[in-house]
Amino acid sequence: MEQQGAEPQVLAVAGCLFEVSFPERDVGSWAWVGDQPEVTALGESVRGDRRHFRFRAEAAAAAAGSVGLRFRSLTEERGVTVRMVVVPVAPENQSPE
C-alpha cells in the first residue's frame, strides 16, 4: 500500500484492534450497520461525549487493502444520516522493502 502525498497516514494492522468514534447526541445515537468478514465487532461503549465502536481487523481486510464501515444515526430533525468510514488495513506480516 503506497502512501500518497506528504501527509501522515494511519493504518490498522490485520489481527489488531482499532476504534471508530462519533459524537454522542441526546437526540440520536450512532449504530454500526454491517456484518463484514473484514472485521470482527468487539463491542461499543459511550465514554464522555463519544460513542466508540471497537473492531479487530481481519486478514480479509488486509487482502483488500481497506475496509469500509457504515454507521447510521436517526434523529427527528435530520432523519437518517449514514456515514462511511474507510479504514486502511496493512497485512500482519509485511516483507521488508
Domain ranges for the chain, please list them: 12-90
Statement: residue 19 has pLDDT above 80: yes
Residue with cell 435530520: 78
Statement: residue 96 has pLDDT above 60: no
Average pLDDT in the chain: 88
At 30 the three-state DSSP class reads strand
- Cell numbers linked to 37: 468478514
Q: How buried is residue 45: exposed, middle or buried, by Cβ count under 10 Å (0-12/13-18/19+)?
A: exposed
Statement: residue 27 has pLDDT above 70: no
72 or 24: which leads in pLDDT: 72
Question: Is the pTM above the cut of 0.85?
Answer: no
Q: What is the CATH number of domain 12-90?
A: 2.60.40.10
Q: How far apart are CA 21 and CA 44, in angstroms?
A: 9
Statement: residue 97 has pLDDT above 70: no
